[in-house]
Amino acid sequence: MKLNERGMLIVLSGPSGVGKGTVRRALFEKRGNKLDYSVSMTTRPMRPGEKEGVDYYFVTKEEFEKRIKENKFLEYASFIGNYYGTPLDKIEEKIAQGKEVVLEIEVNGALQVKEKVKDAVMIFLVPPSKEDLFKRLRSRGTEPEDVIEKRVKKASDEFKMAYYYDYIVVNDDVDNAADRIMAIIRAEHAKTMRSIYKYKKLMEED
């Protein structure tokens, strides 16, 4: 018997290089039929191989700013001259359908989400060590050493924001991290606050 018919928003966050995307993909492989990925909206040009509505919703700057004024974003930010944001209507629609919606996002955006969705499940992904984070960033081979050092310094500041999250998951192994998140989701479904009203209604029926 399923007591909780409403879906939930799962916010997966953490510093750059911690492996959010890799863990999220592993999570979907394990629980994919029950999860829905939140696709962001952006004003940047579409890159080769990207698809509308799969990688991003691509819109003009004018359309994005119009949506900002109409309060249609769960969160948004500007980065290197382009906007990025999470469409609020898409999230609400999926949660109303009972779906578990995963939002993979940076720390600042995650805190915006927490303000608007009080029952969002906030998960902070961390590396097993500072040295491991350095190793992961270097393995990308896309940035010079000074940029990597800046990212690690930023990560140290972001770790302080972990107090605002519900759970901390160590990404020491991708499969283990995905399994821990699955356990969190199952536990969240069993929380009294998510089920008590539905159960109370069932008990009152003749």
pLDDT digits (tens, 9 = 90+) for 17-69: 788 888 998 999 988 678 898 888 999 988 888 889 888 899 999 999 999 99
Task: Give residue 134's pLDDT band: very low, low, confident or very high (50, 70, 90).
Answer: low
Q: What is the pLDDT of residue 203?
A: 63
Which range among 78-87, 125-134, 137-146, 187-196 has the greatest average pLDDT? Answer: 78-87
- What single letter denotes the amino acid at residue 145? E
pLDDT digits (tens, 9 = 90+) for 66-80: 999 999 999 998 877
CATH homologous superfamily, domain 8-38+99-204: P-loop containing nucleotide triphosphate hydrolases (3.40.50.300)
Query: Does the reported pTM lie above 0.85?
Result: no
Return the domain boundaries, the chain: 8-38+99-204
Q: What is the pLDDT of residue 70?
A: 96
Using a 10 angstrom Cβ sphere, with 0-12 exposed, 13-18 middle and 19 or more buried, the burial of residue 128 is exposed
